């Protein structure tokens, strides 16, 4: 594991958003990040971003991946993919915590409370045959 106090790799002042997303490990591949940009799932400073949009330190990047929107602030620009411990130091994650699930305990139905069994249907048929239908 790398030293958290180690200096971050040097990089340019700005780079393409698709390359930065891949370098800081928010997407698995660079083509995934470019596809997310083309699909409108990436916003830089509240503006839709193309893959070639440049990002610099201080920009806010919103990425919608796998049903979750991540909000990150760029703190350091890198262009080469780095280890996860270094990548996490290149942005500040401001994603709000997900709301608690309202699942609660599952209520179990009593046996026989659903669809009637074959035995129950036979009993109902016998009961119905005892009384003629109203005229």
Q: Where are the domains of the chain?
A: 14-93
Condensed to tens digits (0 to 9), the pLDDT of residues 2-43 reads 566 667 777 788 999 999 999 999 999 999 999 999 999 999
* pLDDT range class, residue 109, cuts 50, 70, 90: confident
Q: Is the pLDDT of residue 133 over 70?
A: yes
Classify domain 14-93 at the CATH superfamily level: RNA-binding S4 domain (3.10.290.10)
For the record, the structure tokens of 6 come out as: 């180690």
Cα dihedral sign, 28-31-36-42: positive
User: CA–CA separation, 19 vs 78, rounded Å?
Assistant: 9
């Amino acid at each position: 594991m790398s030293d958290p106090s180690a200096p971050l790799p040097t990089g340019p002042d700005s780079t393409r958003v698709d390359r930065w997303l891949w370098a800081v490990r928010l997407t698995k591949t660079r083509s995934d990040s470019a596809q997310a940009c083309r699909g409108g799932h990436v916003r830089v400073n509240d503006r839709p971003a193309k893959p070639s949009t440049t990002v610099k330190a201080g920009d806010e990047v919103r990425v919608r991946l796998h049903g979750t929107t991540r909000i990150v602030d760029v703190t350091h620009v890198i262009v080469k993919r780095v280890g996860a411990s270094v990548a996490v130091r290149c942005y500040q994650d401001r994603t709000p915590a997900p709301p608690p699930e309202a699942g609660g305990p599952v209520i179990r139905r009593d046996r026989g409370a659903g669809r009637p069994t074959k035995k129950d249907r036979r009993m109902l048929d016998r009961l119905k045959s005892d009384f003629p239908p109203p005229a």
